[in-house]
Amino acid sequence: MNHRLLSALTLAALIAAPSASAYAQATSQLTGTVVDTSGASIPGATVEAKHKGTNAVLSTVTSSQGSFLIPALQPGTYTVTVTLQGFKTAVLNDVVANVGVPAVVRATLEVGGVSETVVVEAATAVVQTSATDVSSTINTKQITSLPLTSRNVLDFITFLPGVNTPGGNRDSTVNGLPQSAINITLDGINVQDNTLKSTDGFFTIVQPRLDAIEEVTVTGAAGGASGAGQGAVQSAFV
């Protein structure tokens, strides 16, 4: 059996002091609410998220307000199952969690037996309501189809909104910020060549194999509580 390992490359450009979230975007998270058919919140429901690629399962229980959060989620596509005694089991298929971009779902439980199942397709919310990030993602299918003349992972970043590339990717900037403000991490560890950081912010001392890429995401965020505006690019690899 082949075991596939997930890594994540994160590139963050910061205007002011780096915020904590800029260095912790190698994973995703699943958040949402569970309600009944009248729209009332349901506390105590069990929520399980199963990764379709690895079959790894994470679970949690809804709060008194019917909300839940599963943090540090491996990016990918999930099947989310919600159960509670006295209600039919709700199964939400194809919930997509991208790198650094929370997946948001809303599950509605119908009165019935747990052995009865209600399946919902494409359950991820279209509008992101849990964060101010504006993101775009190149998925696996697009990566295999898009033309790329090199084997450099960072070349995919130049396809995404907010990235200005006057020449090669080594000259790129994110959301108009200087290259000296860029930070690049792999699984939360800095892999940037900091010797040339001020003049060549897009150069890394570690370059993951192109064949290992699962997705590439650009995230632009408004200033948070720290007062630091930011633009970020993340790439996930398997």
Report how far apart, in Å, the C-alpha atoms of 88 and of each of 41, 59, 67, 70, 136 are: 15, 18, 18, 22, 35
Give the pLDDT band of residue 228 (cuts 50, 70, 90): very low
**Whole-prediction pTM value?**
0.65
36-45, 87-96, 131-140: the lowest-pLDDT one = 131-140
Task: List pLDDT tens digits, range 194-226.
Answer: 777 777 767 777 776 677 667 776 665 544 443
Q: What are phi and psi of 178, to 5 degrees?
A: -70, 155
Most trustworthy range by pLDDT among 97-101, 133-137, 184-188: 97-101
pLDDT of residue 219: 63
Looking at residue 4, the DSSP 8-state letter turns out to be: P
Length of the chain (residues):
238
User: Helix or strand or coil: residue 234?
Assistant: strand
| 214/103 Cα distance (integer angstroms) | 17
Q: Give the closest residue to 238 by CA, choosing from 91, 56, 13.
A: 56
